[in-house]
Amino acid sequence: MATQRHYSPIDRLLLQADTAMRTLLPFSGHPSRPSPAVVQPEVTMDKQQSRHVAGLMRINHTGEVCAQALYQGQALTAKLPQVRKAMEHAAEEEVDHLAWCEQRIRQLGSHTSVLNPLFYGMSFGIGAAAGIISDRVSLGFVAATEHQVVKHLDEHLLQLPAEDAKSRAILAQMRSDEQAHAESALDAGGARFPAPLRFGMSLLAKVMTKSTYRI
């Protein structure tokens, strides 16, 4: 019978550091699923369209950096083993999204955001703090965050050029995964955040999107 490995606090900190490096260093993430864009045809877009799509994908890449950090912070401080395991599983799926977005950004001749380390640190701290408060708050924060992500993805899907099937396929799959994360967090007992708190989270998200579109 297989036994579950138990990590010491030092082990967990080292694992967190390794995850941070793999999240922030270029081409360090190894997706478990192939990109949905692989089966879609490449099309020629003008410079303005390519620059706009690259900006949208850069926003989504940074959003996945934040999600990865959030889940890792919450997993570090989660009180119940099943909650920690759920956070770690969600983080694994975010690695797919990270890699897919980065691949598409490079195909468009652009770069990921130089602000990613800043947003990773902020998100990790928020996630760890939520986990310290309670698992219910931590799960609620996941649900609220993922709902914000789904909203942004819907907006970006509307802004994509009709012929850009590669970017559309990536964002559509990401939307499906993020919606599932939100529902799973609520089903697991996550708190439903009040409207004023969700509004505050929305303002923070706008700061991230405005700053990473070009930088």
If residue 41 lies in a helix (H) or strand (E), which one and from where to where? none
All residues at 6 or more sequence positions from 110 whose CB lies less than 8 Å from its CB, including other chains: 50, 51, 54, 55, 57, 58
Q: At what angle do helices 116-133 and 135-159 cross, to 10 degrees?
A: 140
Of 41, 156, 65, whose CA–CA distance to 116 is shortest? 65
6 is in an annotated binding site: no
Judge whether 24 and 66 are in contact, CB under 8 Å. Answer: no
Q: CA dihedral in degrees (34, 36, 40, 43; nearest 10)? A: -100
Number of CB atoms found within 10 A of residue 46's CB? 9
64 is in an annotated binding site: yes
Tokens of 210: 């405005």
146 is in an annotated binding site: yes
Judge whether 135 and 78 are in contact, CB under 8 Å. Answer: yes
Secondary structure of residue 33 in the 3-state scheme: coil
91: left (phi over 0), alpha (psi -120 to 50) or beta: alpha
42 is in an annotated binding site: no
94 is in an annotated binding site: yes
111 is in an annotated binding site: no
Binding residues are: 64, 94, 97, 146, 178, 181
| Binding-site residue ranges for Fe cation | 64, 94, 97, 146, 178, 181
